[in-house]
Amino acid sequence: MTKTVSDSIITDRRGALAAAAGIGAGLMAPPVLAKPTAKAPAIHTGGDCSTPHSAIVPTRYGKVRGYVSDGVFTFKGVPYGDTTAGANRWLRPQPPKAWEGEYPALAYGANCPQTLHSFRAIEHTFIQQWTDGFLGEDMLKLNIWTGSLSGAKPVMVYLHGGGFSFGSSYELASHDGAQMARHHDVVQVSVNHRLNVLGFLDLAEFGGEAYADSVNVSMLDLIFALEWVRDNIRAFGGDPDRVTIYGQSGGGSKVTTLMGMPAAKGLFHRAIVQSGGGGNIPSAEQSRDFSRQVLRELGVAQGDMAALQKMEWQRLFEAGNTVATRINGPMRPGVLQPGGSASPTPRVGWAPTMDMRNITCRSFHDVAPPAARDIPVIIGNVSEEGTSLGRNPNEAEWRAQLAEALGGAKADALIAAMKKAHPEKAIRTLSYGVGGLSGRNNVNRMVKLRHDAGGAPAYQYLFQWQTPILDGIPGAWHTAELAFCFDNTKICDQATGNTPDAQAIARKMAGAWAAFAHTGKPDQAGLAWGPSDPVHCQTMVFDTRCRMENDPEGDVRRILLT
């Protein structure tokens, strides 16, 4: 069955302030409902733009028409799956219905319905340059940037952050893929998919065998998108045999989860994990019990899938948040949460589940997954993972916070060591850096798992360039590196200042990411980068002077391990 292009155009446009960066693999967002706005994402922000016939590309489902901007072919909102609304809720992703004519791939698609963080500080919105999108359940769309439609360039597929509850492929200005296509000879792809209650509610008992995969359909969407890349990317100048998946925060957790999924094997060939990954996901029984309680909270009759499929998403999500808080306790914003070490206790809620059907291991938590043994991986984080510009503690307040979490003696030792290591940083910035140290411990834990298991190498990095914006207080905050690994310091000048130093670091970092996509090694001219092992913790430090260093901040980070 085919549909016309006019049937494909989305008309329901609701805006949402994009999610806070600061909960590395955060399983739950606070219950603040997104409010409708009249805004929709801009179609284009660059110059020298045209929509020539050369930007019409065939896919398995029909032709898509993009545009060319400053030499880059751009396709936004390309369907890789059918709508997930109504009768398709909680089912495995389905192929998009074929269409006649040319699909206008000129604007980003819908974001998964989601609740969003409220910010205490407008400064965070400023440095991130968050953008409004629109919400809808027809959200299985991807975006492509390529310098040409010929050849066989490596493909880089970016998975967005926001835990597994919120976020989108275009929420941050840094996500724009044009520069990677323009200057680094790759095909850049980004993906939207199901999240939260729409992606992780176990309905197998409630709805029957058809819903046996409902607890992990969010991750199955990503596999479906990678299958679309495998089957269609040649027409966009991409090489399906050189696919890199990468993601930041929750996106990093999506990467490590995919690395452990048998069905994803062969769909990607390198992986990059940024400020996340290795989460302690719940068991099938834990998620099943969670879902039973959610359904009781909703008061729906056993087997009444029609009622669930018609129910407003907000009501579903609120019920899930209520149950998750009852089981887990409230999410407390704390100094060790963002990018922190993997939790010893799973938090049930909106996250993947080890169902032994689609996900068979706690990838990079318990084990470096055998399915990804031959996949080289880059793993790293930023130095101020805990930046939250709504927090401005003095030293006494900071000590009290640390003492509550760590005990007084360890708090004193940590503060003294951090002040000695970085006397140039304000107390406020140092307080944000504790999350970075915790994140470093998580990075080294994952590197050790990979090293001990053998196979392809792991490369480690630390991004610690300090922004000059807002008097330097944010430091290298959670998501700061995205403007650099996407080579987007210019369009992210509210975060980077687009200074000469920032531009130089971006060329090196984006160049390393692209080199890795091309060859499986991040080496490039003038920047030698070797693998990491758990003894020496060899690390590429991205700063004003990019360099290899053995275990930077090692003495300080190990205080958290004692």
Q: How far is CA 422 from CA 185, 392, 394, 553, 556, in A?
A: 38, 18, 16, 10, 11
249 belongs to the catalytic site: yes
Choosing from 117, 124, 269, 478, which is the catalytic residue?
478
More confident residue, 332 or 201: 201
Residue 102 CB: number of other CB atoms within 10 A?
16
pLDDT at res. 133:
86
* Mean pLDDT across the chain: 89
pLDDT one-digit tens code per residue, 387-415? 999 899 999 999 999 999 999 999 999 99
pLDDT mean over 276-289: 96
478 belongs to the catalytic site: yes
Residue 554 pLDDT exceeds 50: yes
Residue 197 pLDDT exceeds 50: yes
Ordered DSSP codes for 518-550 = HHS---BTTB------TTT-EEEEESSS-EEEE
Choosing from 168, 218, 249, 383, which is the catalytic residue?
249
pLDDT at res. 85:
97
Q: How far is CA 487 from CA 44, 185, 497, in A?
A: 18, 13, 13
pLDDT one-digit tens code per residue, 182-195? 999 999 999 999 99
Query: Percent of the chain having pLDDT more than 90?
Result: 83
pLDDT at res. 31:
31
385 belongs to the catalytic site: yes
Residue 4: band (very low, low, confident or very high) from pLDDT cuts 50, 70, 90 = very low
pLDDT one-digit tens code per residue, 235-271? 999 999 999 999 999 999 999 999 999 999 999 999 9
Unique residue bearing structure tokens 């607890």: 215
- Dihedrals φ, ψ of 126, to 5°? -65, -50
pLDDT mean over 106-128: 81
Choosing from 227, 384, 385, 481, which is the catalytic residue?
385
pLDDT one-digit tens code per residue, 354-381? 999 999 999 999 999 999 999 999 999 9
Residue 35 CB: number of other CB atoms within 10 A?
10
The DSSP symbol for 283 reads B
Copy the structure tokens of residue 89. 């809720």
pLDDT at res. 342:
55
pLDDT at res. 30:
30
Residue 135 pLDDT exceeds 70: yes
Residue 9 pLDDT exceeds 50: no
pLDDT mean over 151-170: 96
More confident residue, 27 or 127: 127
Q: Which of 115-119, 267-271, 494-498 has the lowest mean pLDDT?
A: 115-119
pLDDT one-digit tens code per residue, 57-80? 999 999 999 999 999 999 999 999
pLDDT mean over 202-208: 97
